């Protein structure tokens, strides 16, 4: 009996030692059928040979893409020199191309390491010339990236494939944040791009100075792209779901200077608009919404309709293309060329009018003076008494009203309300 007890004790001891020596289960391990890969976007400044450059790169799994320019960078050259390649161990190899000269490679970048400052070499296509590469990551001032200490990895059902195959974009189910090699937080999501995955973006969604996260969920037919957003809760030290009112704003953009959230939207093929929002007591409230309209103009004797859309600028919504009234009462077109407007075939009357604005400086919200709208007048037609539209047209500095009674389909037996 004593021998049996000793044997059982030995077995229990061995099992205990095995359990203690086994590696603990890690929450960071991807679930079966999924893969995890890093994503980031970074900017570096430094030198290529003796010339100063700015380099912008994005990483998705082991694929790298971006561009660089020689300082001072100009708008037309900022993305002309294109970089694409793969992470290789602690470094990477990138092929350089000049987008203005076709697809021929203009050089190869060999990056030795991503840790700390980047060092490496540039080699000419024939291998006869080399230049030293020295770069330092750019994180200055109030840059959100400087206040974001986490590594971002995505959990998806597959790795992104090379090429332009738009039929097999991975489905992303979570954003995983790592700090010092350990997983800090996992944010569940449902995101799937069309010809490439969507990656999380840093924003200051609530204008508190702390970086928040947002990711597009899918690509709809129009610009109303849904996003999922998380706010950084300083008290909890965690990311939390943004209020539902913010989640419902498609393609939200954030203006920290004026503390305004704004969004461009499309309601149909012929209606586009802008909405603005503010934070109030921890939630979002709408401030203003403006939508497009049709402005009638006369180009000689040709009737035309100009499609006027609103835009957001400096904390307010404005119509940059508009009719303005000078101090002497004279009307003028601002940023409107009648010859570029569509010929009026008498088919559109909805949202057709002329807003007349007071000229203002670029820093102030324009003031609407009045609106010239369509009036419905009783007219005798071949079909009998009808109400037909009298449409205001801008005509060389004045408003000229024209009765559109030639098209019976535009008229009504009763006066429209």
Does this model's pTM top 0.85? Answer: no
Asked whether residue 192 falls in the same domain as residue 237, the answer is yes
Asked whether residue 319 falls in the same domain as residue 282, the answer is no
* CATH number for the domain that contains residue 78: 2.40.128
What was the pLDDT predicted at 163? 63
> Which pLDDT band holds residue 164 (cuts at 50, 70, 90)?
low
In a domain, 11, yes or no: no
Give the domain-ending residue among 290, 314, 332.
Answer: 290
What was the pLDDT predicted at 299? 95
pLDDT digit string, tens, across residues 228-264: 999 999 999 999 999 999 999 999 999 999 999 999 9
Run of H or E including 2: helix 2-21
What was the pLDDT predicted at 17? 37
Q: Does residue 221 register a pLDDT over 80?
A: no
What was the pLDDT predicted at 322? 96
Residues 214, 116, 121, 46, CA torsion sign: positive
In a domain, 188, yes or no: yes
Residue 261 belongs to domain spanning: 144-290
Give the domain-ending residue among 260, 290, 320.
Answer: 290
Asked whether residue 149 falls in the same domain as residue 234, the answer is yes
Asked whether residue 242 falls in the same domain as residue 307, the answer is no
Asked whether residue 149 falls in the same domain as residue 274, the answer is yes
C-alpha triplet 207, 217, 283: angle, nearest 5°: 35
What was the pLDDT predicted at 22? 36
- Report the percent of the chain where pLDDT is more than 70: 90
Does residue 234 contact residue 253 with C-beta atoms inside 8 Å? no
pLDDT digit string, tens, across residues 360-380: 766 788 899 999 999 999 998
Asked whether residue 209 falls in the same domain as residue 148, the answer is yes
What was the pLDDT predicted at 381? 81
Run of H or E including 323: strand 322-325
Q: Does residue 323 register a pLDDT over 90?
A: yes
Asked whether residue 349 falls in the same domain as residue 329, the answer is yes
Q: Region 216-235: what's the mean pLDDT?
A: 90
- What is the count of structural domains for the chain? 3
Asked whether residue 279 falls in the same domain as residue 364, the answer is no
Q: Region 342-364: what's the mean pLDDT?
A: 86
């Amino acid at each position: 009996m004593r021998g049996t007890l000793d044997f059982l004790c030995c077995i229990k001891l061995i099992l205990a030692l095995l359990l203690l020596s086994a590696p603990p289960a890690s929450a960071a391990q991807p679930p079966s059928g999924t893969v995890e890969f890093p994503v980031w976007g970074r900017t570096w400044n430094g030198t290529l040979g003796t010339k100063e450059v700015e380099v912008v790169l994005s990483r998705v799994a082991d694929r790298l893409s971006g561009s660089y320019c020689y300082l001072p960078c100009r708008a037309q050259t900022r993305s002309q020199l294109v970089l694409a390649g793969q992470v290789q161990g602690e470094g990477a190899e990138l092929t350089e191309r000049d987008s203005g000269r076709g697809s021929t490679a203009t050089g190869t970048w060999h990056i030795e390491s991503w840790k700390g400052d980047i060092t490496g070499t540039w080699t000419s296509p024939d291998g006869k010339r080399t230049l030293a590469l020295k770069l330092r990551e750019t994180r200055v001032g109030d840059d959100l990236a400087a206040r974001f200490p986490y590594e971002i990895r995505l959990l998806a059902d597959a790795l992104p494939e090379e090429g332009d195959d738009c039929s097999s974009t991975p489905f992303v189910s979570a954003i995983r944040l790592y700090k010092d090699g350990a997983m800090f937080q996992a944010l569940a999501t449902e995101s799937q791009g069309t010809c490439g995955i969507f990656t999380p973006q840093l924003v200051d969604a609530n204008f508190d100075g702390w970086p928040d996260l947002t990711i597009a969920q899918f690509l709809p037919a129009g610009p109303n792209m849904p996003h999922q957003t998380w706010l950084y809760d300083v008290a909890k030290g965690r990311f939390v779901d943004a209020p539902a009112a913010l989640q419902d704003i498609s393609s939200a953009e954030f203006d920290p200077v004026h503390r305004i959230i704004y969004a461009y939207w499309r309601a149909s093929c012929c209606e586009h608009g802008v909405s603005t929002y503010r934070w109030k007591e921890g939630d979002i409230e709408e401030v203003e919404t403006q939508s497009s309209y049709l402005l009638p103009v006369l180009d000689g004797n040709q009737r035309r309709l100009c499609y006027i859309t609103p835009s957001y600028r400096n904390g307010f919504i404005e119509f940059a293309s508009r009719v303005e009234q000078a101090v002497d009462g004279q009307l003028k077109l601002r940023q409107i060329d009648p010859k570029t407007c569509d010929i009026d075939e008498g088919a559109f009357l909805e949202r057709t009018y002329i807003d007349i604005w007071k000229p203002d400086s670029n820093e102030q919200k324009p003031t609407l003076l009045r609106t010239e709208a369509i009036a419905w007048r009783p007219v005798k037609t071949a079909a009998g008494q009808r109400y037909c539209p009298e449409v205001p047209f801008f005509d060389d500095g004045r408003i000229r009203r024209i009765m559109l009674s030639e098209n019976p389909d535009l008229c009504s037996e009763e006066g429209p309300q």
